[in-house]
Amino acid sequence: MGYTMTRLKKVLITILVCVIFFAVYSFYITRNLTNMTPKQKILKVFYPALMWITKFTGTNTSNIVNNSIQPPISFYSLQTTLSDGSTFNLAALKGKKVMLVNTASDCGYTDQYADLEKLYRQYKVGLEIIAFPANDFKEQEKGDDNTIAAFCKKNYGVTFPIMAKSVVIKSNKQNSVFGWLTNPSGNGWNSKAPSWNFSKYLVNEKGELIHYFDPGISPLSKEVINAVTAN
């Protein structure tokens, strides 16, 4: 009986220590995030755990690689719209690798904005990153373009281009850039649509689609960095 009580006390003390640690960690992580909703703060705190779980279970971790294939439709013939309403021509990106990511502000993966910004700042000489906010998965991006742009800048210091909110999943309203990324008649080989928010497509310096990374693969992972830095 005495042994059982001792074990119970140890378990309760361990639980208490974990709760205190989590509370302190949560406060530290979110103390300066005055521009986030309570839900967004919670998602930010749980992001490391989510990434661990996806890696452990192999969920949302597909990495599709393809050799250079000249696309039937030139990547550089495409254009899209920035969050401020101006036109963005992809022809301006010739000679750079381009990572295109569908994003959302209320997703478990939203903290990848920070990782994407780190990746961008480190490799921006040869890399462009473009965010495509979308409300396609569980309505996790309900804000308008101004709200989304402000959220990204204030909370994550995002400096890479953010496009106007659009549809990225396959439909008759699909953004033309994602239409190209997910249709072999455009890109030459890939039909994989985003599996969730923060799916990543990588186009090389010649305008050829060469990689697809699922949301569970961090922008700072070895797989992504090796793809970005490959000759």
Rounded to the nearest integer, the mean pLDDT of the chain is 90
Q: Which residues, at least 6 apart from 169, have a Cβ–Cβ distance to it below 8 Å?
A: 134, 136, 178, 193, 194
Domain spans of the chain, in order of start: 2-50, 63-229
- The pLDDT tens digits of the residues spanning 42-65 come to 999 999 999 999 999 999 999 999
Average pLDDT over residues 87-95: 98
Task: Report, as an integer, the average pLDDT of 8-21.
Answer: 51
What positions carry a catalytic annotation?
155
Q: Which residues contact 78 (CB under 8 A, 6 or more apart)?
A: 90, 176, 177, 180
CATH assignment, 63-229:
3.40.30.10
Q: Please report which residue ranges of 79-202 form alpha helices under DSSP H.
A: 112-123, 145-156, 176-181, 184-187
Please say whether the beta carbons of 88 and 100 come within 8 A: no
Query: Band of the pLDDT at 67, cuts 50, 70, 90?
Result: confident
**High-pLDDT (> 90) share of the chain, %:** 84
- 18 pLDDT band, cuts 50/70/90, is very low
d(C-alpha 77, C-alpha 91), whole Å: 6
d(CA 205, CA 220): 20
Q: Please compute the mean of the pLDDT values over residues 186-214 and round it to a whole number.
A: 98
Q: Cα 7 to the chain's mean position, in Å?
A: 43
Closest CA to 128 of 169, 156, 163, 165: 163
Confidence grade of residue 2 (pLDDT, cut at 50, 70, 90): low
Give yes or no for a contact between 72 and 186, defined as CB atoms under 8 angstroms apart: yes
